[in-house]
A = this chain, B = another copy of it.
Amino acid sequence: MRSVKHEAETNERNPVRGMQTSDRSAGTGAGGAGSGSEAGRATDGEAGGTAGGGRGRGRARRVSMADVAALAGVSSQTVSRVSNGDPAVIDSTRQKVLDAMKELGYRPNSAARALKRGEFRAIGVITMGLSSTGNVRTLEAIAGSAARAGYAVTLIPLDAPTQDNVRGAFTRLDELAVDAVVLIMEVHLLDTTALTLPPHVKVVVVDSDATGRFPVVDTDQRQGARTAVQHLLDLGHETVWHVSGPEESFAADRRSDAWQAVLREEGRRVPPAQRGDWTPESGYRAGLRLAEQADCTAVFVANDQMALGVLRAFHERGLRVPQDVSVVGFDDIPEAASFIPPLTTMRQDFARVGELCVDAALRELRGETVTGVRLVPTTLVERASTAAPRPGAAVTRQRPGGRR
């Protein structure tokens, strides 16, 4: 009793007519039925595949190569050849086939293709949540590059980055319709996990430890952090404070390490790092602590979101940025340019990262062995949150709030 239904088909001409051969009655139809309750097996006896006229009613069988072949008067193999652009097909034949395809609205069945070819033309992306800008932008870039290479992208989200989840994802991996997987995971779990990897699924890793097991693509965290810190030093700051990302993150580690390394190399004092967790709130808390430090004139914050929180904390404490304190972030999220003040930050080239991931995955699929780490450089984007320290600035600010 369902009412209308789509209508609109390309037809006219009642195409399917052509091939009386195929007699496989609508039998299967039942499958789709189900309507109403799940039970009711008997389904409407209907018997009526017949129905005559019936245009592409709800679940008419899909148009297959055989259908096209019948209409075009060629073998299905020829249809296949046309479908795959085999140059061996003569033009007149090709045209007949193309016409038939068009008339019937033929679309290759990707399941059959995948079965036959042994590949899905799909790349899976495993990520723990789409909350961080970086992950999302990388995902987006991967999707773009993959599409350009004729690959689809399947999203495999992980709720929590527990070992079990990761392992589970890997276990399910080979029943998933993907040829390769990109792991975007800023977590130490990867190596510990007993990796029972399906041998035919290729893996590329983003932002993790370069264990050498898999090809790794990543932003050049060290270079980025070094540039940021150096920038502040170059402006004349005595030293640079740091708000870091969470412990579990490799990226955070590296940025932190690099920050420390630069200070040491330059013979500067290394103030204690303030640990955050990437969120603006954690940045705010860190900022509050920093505001207490009379000699803090420059801060390198491990990501822009935390930098936002830092900015707010300073603002609330009456510290002016950049006059009293300079702040550099990391990522260059779209909002960064509109912070108060506009944030100087290290721009990550996520698009490039995504591109390289797909490239590496595709190479592996082609049988090449991709090794090593490919690092993508970052760029310093100077905006209004950094400046030279005022002479004696560190001294005048004995206590937050000014005169006490």
Contact = CB atoms under 8 A, between A and B. Distances in A.
Interface residues of A, number: 98
Given A111-B111, A115-B112, A157-B140, A312 B340 contact: yes
Contacts of A279: 334
Interface in A339-388: 339-340, 342, 359, 362-363, 365-371
A154 B151 CA distance: 11
Interface string A207-237: 0000000000000000000000000000000
A315 interface: yes
Contacts of A10: 196
Given A129-B140, A309-B338, A359-B39, A57 B199 contact: yes
A155 B139 CA distance: 10
A44 interface: yes
B26 A281 contact: no
Given A130-B136, A176-B110, A199-B56, A2 B308 contact: no
B366 A34 contact: yes
A32 interface: yes
A3 B371 CA distance: 12
A177 B199 contact: no
B118 A335 contact: no
A292 to B, nearest CB: 19
A315 B338 CA distance: 11
A117 B29 CA distance: 12
Contacts of A369: 2-3, 43-44, 46-49
B130 A199 contact: no
A339 B309 CA distance: 8
Contacts of A91: none
A320 interface: no
B154 A155 contact: yes
Nearest to A59: B200
A45 B110 contact: no
B367 A33 contact: yes
Given A130-B140, A337-B280, A367-B34, A157 B149 contact: no
Interface in A312-344: 312, 315, 334-335, 337-340, 342
Contact of A35 (B62, B131, B367): B367
A181 to B, nearest CB: 13
A366 B114 contact: no
Contacts of A24: 118
A197 interface: yes
Contacts of A366: 29, 32-35
Nearest to A310: B338
A179 to B, nearest CB: 10
B198 A107 contact: yes
A60 interface: yes
B122 A130 contact: no
A144 interface: yes
15 contacts: A28-B118, A33-B367, A34-B150, A43-B368, A43-B369, A107-B198, A110-B177, A111-B112, A112-B115, A130-B139, A130-B143, A144-B159, A280-B335, A305-B334, A335-B335
Interface of A: 2-3, 6, 9-10, 24, 26, 28-29, 31-35, 39, 43-49, 56-60, 62, 105, 107-112, 114-115, 117-118, 120, 122, 129-131, 136-137, 139-140, 143-144, 147-150, 152-157, 159, 174-177, 196-200, 279-281, 283-284, 305, 308-309, 311-312, 315, 334-335, 337-340, 342, 359, 362-363, 365-371
